[in-house]
Amino acid sequence: MSTREISYGQAIREALAQEMRRDPRVILFGEDVALYGGIFGQLAGLRDEFGDERVFDTPISENLIVGAAVGAASRGLRPVAELQFADFVFCAADEVFFKAGMWRYVHDGAFELPLVIRAPSGGYGFGPEHSQCPEAFLMHQPGIRIALPSTPADAKGLLAAAIRSNDPVVVLEHKLLYARKGPVPEGEHVEPLGRAVVRRQGDALTIVAWQDMLWRTLEAAARLAGEGIEVEVVDPRCLNPFDAETLLASVRKTGACLVVEEAYRTLGVGAEIGALLMERAFGDLDRPLRRLAIPDVPVPTAPHLVDALVPNVDAIVRAARELAG
Amino acid sequence: MHAEEGPLDDATRVEIFRRCLLARRLEERIIQLAMAGELAATLHPGQGQEIAQVAALAALRPDDPMLYGHRGLAYWIARGLPPERILCELAFKEGSTNRGKGGVMHVVDPALGILGESGTLGGNFVIGAGVALAEKLQRTGRVAVIFFGDGTSNRGQFHEAANFCAVRKLPALFFCENNGWAVSVSARVSTAVADIADRAAAYAMPGVVVDGNDPEAVFEATAAAARRARAGDGPSLVEAKVERLLGHFLGDPQPYRSAAERTALRERDPMGRFERDLRARGLLDDSALAALEGEIAARITAAEAAERRASLVAPATALERVYAS
């Protein structure tokens, strides 16, 4: 299939347009998604192509946005609901955790819930209630699939897979990646949920990172290579299902693991990965797990204060160097 | 059982009475069994509210999707769910609708239009809005009915869902059973309006108050709201004034209501008035009532026998049906 360079934001738009053309049950709604085309511009033109019944603006009503997605999915539609910022999963916590997460189970499978919640996470200068990466909270809840695209191709492929899934899927779109360009297949492109990918091969240690932290890690890896340290970089792409096998194979080879995440340290994704390695790779590790994360404070508004908290390339290089040493 | 074109005919009037009586006798038996320790005592008794529930559902089509309310079991009896399934639900046995996953809060049978209930109060509103959205977009001609109490109307989801359904003219029917109590808290101290129907004005939808013990009044108000919804004119709110004859849960000592109040309530049992009305219309006499009571007693005995024969849901069931795939 031919590919060309488009942005992560354009890839999201393309996945939505292709899936909506393919399946009339797919609808899209949320705050500012229709006329505005999404506040990050990633939905431009969808309302014009698909009309007001299938692409519409909602009131500022996050409980309604997610609850209606659950209700509509239980009756045969395939809604794609947008939470304007990923932090808003907590505004709609009942509907995200108790309904999307549990509605199928509590009714013993009477319903399938083919719904997607798209939500932009991370970033700078949006303030503490508009900058968080809530993936660890979501990962704790049974019943919700979680996709974390890091490249434009994955933005398209994972979103398409999420729309075709018969389970609720939260797709966290990282705000700093919307403008990032990369090769994306032109036609239908579906990446199966739950498969990690090794972004760079190496044997000194394994670094797990995703979204903006992945790109910082790849920059750090290039710098480390200049020092003769070849790190292996694993992009999990999904946290539920989580591809443990790819991670375990990498750790078997390298014997060490560093997790880099743009979220709070305590009980973060890195903590879960650490526990997984203790249970399933204790004999393969010859050095302790390392985690780089936001120390347990809220994400401030001023960009230079955010920079003081979020792992940066220098910190990744330093931690990797110590671990490789 | 439905006669939406109304007015309420004699056959439907008698059928409403029959189902109310079945619900009453079944609930009385469940309370006996629960107090004897033979069934889980998790039901929120609905005695006093059966007429409103059954008459409302009689005015709707049998496949109009329903999110039911918190009180009792008449919703399910009205929709034709066999009593043995209700007993199996309480006993966590095979033959129940959700096999111990959700218990009586999550009774479900999509073929009977029973879509469950949110365990967290208020979830019905937003899920019901999504159901109404799906019915509209799929042009099914169905109306989503959302049952709720006066207490639940104080949740924020009421506002979000009512506004959304009204602004998108969705086929939804908000059916309030106002019994004046939220567990132990009187509406006098929790709710700023005497009539929940007054709140409909905030959403530019009709709101009507009816005597919930008058099957004809409930039937006609519900039928009118359903006609409006089916015509594409949007949602309505019907408020039925009812009385909660028993406590919030089985064994509730009700310190918030005096013994005299409770005795007076029982004397006002609306089923007595319904019976007298049928007699006055020549639709019921002593022998017909005795026959009906006998038929219901036999039905309940058979249901109990079926429940006793059914096996307890296997422990491994707990792990099933979290995900569709």
Task: List pLDDT tens digits, range A155-200.
Answer: 999 999 999 999 999 999 999 999 999 999 999 999 999 999 999 9
Q: Nearest-CA distance from A237 to chain B in Å? A: 18
Better-scored residue on pLDDT, A173 or B5: A173
Neighbours of B224 (CB within 10 A): 17
Annotated domain spans of chain B: 10-310
Task: Name chain B contacts of A79, Cβ cutoff 8 Å.
Answer: 130
pLDDT in tens, B21-66: 999 999 999 999 999 998 877 889 999 999 999 999 999 999 999 9
**What band does B7 get if pLDDT is binned at 50, 70 and 90?**
confident
- Cβ–Cβ < 8 Å for A167, A191: no
At residue B3, does pLDDT exceed 70?
A: no
Q: Average pLDDT of A202-226?
A: 98
Residues of A with active-site annotation: 130
Confidence check: pLDDT of A1 > 80: no
Quote the radius of gyration of chain A (alpha carbons, Å). 19
Q: Which positions in chain A have a beta carbon within 8 angstroms of at least one beta carbon in chain B?
A: 27, 53-54, 56, 58-59, 61, 63-64, 66-77, 79, 94-95, 98-99, 103-114, 142-143, 145, 165-167
3-state secondary structure of A306: helix
Contacts of A315 (CB under 8 A, 6+ apart): A292
Interval B167-212: pLDDT, tens: 999 999 999 999 999 999 999 999 999 999 999 999 999 999 999 9
CA distance linking residue A140 with residue A119, whole number of Å: 17
Residues 6+ apart with CB under 8 A from B237: B162, B174, B175, B176, B196, B197, B199, B200, B205, B206, B207, B208, B225
**Mean pLDDT lowest among B16-20, B95-99, B164-168, B262-266:** B262-266
Q: Can you tell me the distance from the alpha carbon of B254 to that of B184, in angstroms, rounded to the nearest whole number?
A: 7
Q: How many CB pairs under 8 A join A and B?
A: 151
Residue of B99, B133, B156 with shortest CB distance to A63 = B156
CB nearest to B135's CB, from A68, A75, A114:
A75
The whole-angstrom separation of Cα B230 and Cα B140 is 9
Q: Answer yes or no: same fold for A3-185 and A197-324.
A: yes
Decide if B164 and A58 are in contact by the 8 Å CB cutoff. yes
Report field, pTM of the whole predicted structure over 0.95: yes
pLDDT beyond 70 at B4: no
CA nearest to B176, candidates B196, B159, B200:
B196
Peptide bond into A149 cis (omega under 30): no
The pLDDT tens digits of the residues spanning A82-125 come to 999 999 999 999 999 999 999 999 999 999 999 999 999 999 88
Chain B residues touching A56 at Cβ < 8 A: 168
Helix ranges (H only) for B240-285 are: 259-267, 270-280
Q: Which of B98, B25, B105 is nearest to B67 (CA)?
A: B105
Give the per-residue pLDDT at A280. 98
Q: Which residues pair with A26 in a beta bridge?
A: A78
Quick one: pLDDT band at residue B2, thresholds 50, 70, 90? Answer: low
- Closest to B97 in 3D by CA, of B87, B107, B105: B107
Q: Left (φ > 0), alpha (ψ -120 to 50) or beta: where does A292 sit?
A: beta
Instruction: Report how far residue A109's alpha carbon sits from residue B97's, in angstroms, rounded to the nearest whole number.
Output: 10
Chain-wide mean pLDDT for chain B?
Answer: 96
Q: Give the domain ranges of chain A.
A: 3-185, 197-324
Is a pLDDT exceeding 60 seen at residue B231?
yes
pLDDT score at B281: 98
Return the structure tokens found at B261.
Answer: 């109040």
Task: Write down the mean pLDDT value for chain A.
Answer: 97
CA dist B30 → B43, B83, B295 (Å): 9, 11, 18
Confidence tier at B165 by pLDDT (50, 70, 90): very high
CATH for B10-310, options being 1.10.3720.10, 3.40.50.970, 3.20.20.140, 1.10.3470.10: 3.40.50.970
**pLDDT > 70 in chain A, percent:** 100
Is the Cβ–Cβ distance between A168 and A197 less than 8 Å?
Answer: no
Domain A3-185: CATH architecture, name and number where available: 3-Layer(aba) Sandwich (3.40)
Percent of chain A predicted with pLDDT > 90: 97
DSSP A82: E
- What mean pLDDT is predicted for residues A41-52? 95
| Contact assessment for residue A108 and residue A194, using Cβ atoms and an 8 Å cutoff | no
Rounded Cα gap, residues A47 and A58, in angstroms: 13
A216-253, pLDDT tens digit by residue?
999 999 999 999 999 999 999 999 999 999 999 999 99
H helical segments located in B138-280: 156-167, 187-190, 215-230, 259-267, 270-280
- Which residues from A are below 8 Å from B105, CB to CB? 106
For residue B75, which phi and psi values (nearest 5 degrees)? -55, -45
**Candidates A27, A107, A113; nearest CB to B106:** A107
pLDDT in the model for residue B251: 86
The reply to whether B243 touches chain A by the CB within 8 Å rule is: no
Contact A71 B126 (CB under 8 A): yes
pLDDT confidence band for B5 (50 / 70 / 90): low
Contact A322, A220 (CB under 8 A): no
> In this predicted structure, what is the pLDDT of residue A124?
86
Tokens of B212: 């919930």
Asked if the model's pLDDT at residue B299 lies above 80, the reply is yes
How many Cβ atoms are within 10 Å of A196's Cβ, its own excluded? 20
| Stretch A133-160: mean pLDDT | 98
pLDDT of res. B107: 97
The pLDDT assigned to A325 comes to 79
Token pair of A314, please?
């220098």
Q: Which residues of B touch A63 (CB under 8 A)?
A: 122, 126, 156-157, 160
State the DSSP H helix or E strand holding residue A52, giving kind and residue range, or none if neither: helix A46-54
Query: What pLDDT, on a 0 to 100 scale, did the predictor assign at position A196?
Result: 98
Q: Is the pLDDT of residue A299 over 80?
A: yes
Enter the tokens of residue B308.
């006793």
User: Token pair for residue A180?
Assistant: 């990032």
Decide yes or no: CATH 3.90.550.10 for domain A197-324: no
Could you tell me where the beta strands, DSSP code E, fall in chain B?
66-67, 144-149, 172-178, 181-182, 185-186, 207-211, 236-241
Pairing of strands A290-294, B181-182: unpaired
- Those of residues 302-321 in B touching chain A at CB distance below 8 A are 317, 320-321
**Residue A108 to residue B108, Cβ atoms within 8 A:** yes
What's phi and psi for A169, nearest 5 deg? Answer: -130, 125
ipTM above 0.95, yes or no: yes
Task: Answer whether B92 touches A (CB < 8 Å).
Answer: no
A300 has pLDDT over 90: yes
Q: Is the torsion defined by CA of A176, A241, A188, A182 positive or negative?
A: positive
Kindly list the residues from chain B whose CB atom is less than 8 angstroms away from the CB atom of residue A72: 130-131, 133-134, 137
Per-window interface: B 115-134 vs A, CB < 8 A: 115-116, 118-120, 122-123, 125-134
Out of B98, B102, B134, the one facing A72 most closely (by C-beta) is B134
Which residues does chain B have within 8 Å of residue A162's beta carbon, measured at their own beta carbons? none
Q: What mean pLDDT comes out for the span B110-125? A: 97
Q: Which two tokens stand for residue B253?
A: 């000592």
